[in-house]
Structures are given as structure tokens and as C-alpha cells.
Amino acid sequence: MTQLSLVMVETRQAKPFLKWAGGKSQLLSQFENSYPLELKQGKIKRYIEPFVGGGAVFFEVAQKYEIGAAYLYDVNPELILVYKTVQKAPEKLIEQLDEIATRYRALTDDGRKSFFYEIRERYNLQRHQIDYRHYSPAWISRAAMLTTLFVFYIRLS
């Protein structure tokens, strides 16, 4: 399984950045009552999330309670690639997302659709060239493309 470990230094209003299927954002207030008392008392210093997905529960817990370290897992290597890229190269990822956003804003509706298909094709073609085990700069464009495709998909559907 693919894993990401984090040491919680500070989190500022971080929210899930991917609208992942089955995300639990809508259920967070219901989950609250089921959290262990020790979490609320700040006694739990290691948070382990076996199915992180979009991370709605993780972001909520990490910001509400004092957890020292978090270990996030997911079977989906594409997803973990995005989390690790956010961890390793946030500025470069933001730069690429800004470039995509600038290009997108300048396009007509039809142009935006073509842009979506263009990114999707590049994303699909790149798959076989990616080493999911070892970070490389190619991860940055892949993370930018996946994040963008999610946003596009929501806007165009």
C-alpha cells in the first residue's frame, strides 16, 4: 500500500484539495461524537489513516486536535503522488497550477473543453513513464494535471 508520513508542525485551514469519490466532508459533524476521548484530550500523538482518499477526516482531525504525526495510506498511487508532491514541492506545484489557471481563463467555453481533453490525454500518456515509488520532477506536472482534471470535471459536468 502506498504511504505518506507527516510530522504535524502547523496546519492552517487546510481542506481536501481533491473532491474524491466517497469523501466524508458531509459527515464530519456526525463523526465527532465517535472520536476517542483521548484524541480530544490531546493524548493521541500518532494518527493513522488507512484509507485517506480526499482526506476530509484527516484535515479535520489534524486541525482540531493536537496530533504529533500522521501516517496516511491509500491503495491508489496517483493519489499518494499528489499528497507527496504537495509535501515536497508545494511552490512549484502552485506555479504550474497558476499557469494552467491563466491559460484556462483566457479560453472560450469550447477552448476550455479542448484544454480538458488535451490535459487528460497528456495525463494518460504520461502514466507509463512515472515511477510511483521515487519522487521526480515529473510528479509535479502529474499532480498539477490530476488536480486540474478534477476541477475541470466538476465544472464541465
Ligand X SMILES: C[S@@+](CC[C@H](N)C(=O)[O-])C[C@H]1O[C@@H](n2cnc3c(N)ncnc32)[C@H](O)[C@@H]1O
Does 62 interact with ligand X (rule: CB under 6 A)? no
What Å distances lie between residue 18 and 36, 40, 43, 121, 149, CA to CA? 27, 27, 30, 20, 10
Does 97 interact with ligand X (rule: CB under 6 A)? no
Taking CB under 6 A as the criterion, the residue among 44, 56, 93, 100 binding ligand X is 56
User: By CB under 6 A, which span of 47-55, 62-70, 104-112, 131-139 interacts with ligand X?
Assistant: 47-55
Closer by beta carbon to ligand X, 50 or else 137: 50
Measured distance CA(4)–CA(81) in Å, rounded? 9
Q: What is the CA radius of gyration of the chain?
A: 17
Taking CB under 6 A as the criterion, the residue among 24, 47, 140, 141 binding ligand X is 24
Interface with ligand X: number of residues (CB under 6 A): 18
Does 143 interact with ligand X (rule: CB under 6 A)? no
DSSP 68: S
Burial class (CB in 10 A: 0-12, 13-18, 19+), 4: buried
Taking CB under 6 A as the criterion, the residue among 38, 41, 51, 127 binding ligand X is 51
Does 73 interact with ligand X (rule: CB under 6 A)? yes
Burial class (CB in 10 A: 0-12, 13-18, 19+), 17: middle
Q: Is 136 helix (H, G, I), strand (E, B) or coil?
A: coil
Does 76 interact with ligand X (rule: CB under 6 A)? yes
Give the footprint of ligand X on this chain (CB under 6 A): 1, 20, 22-24, 50-57, 73-76, 79
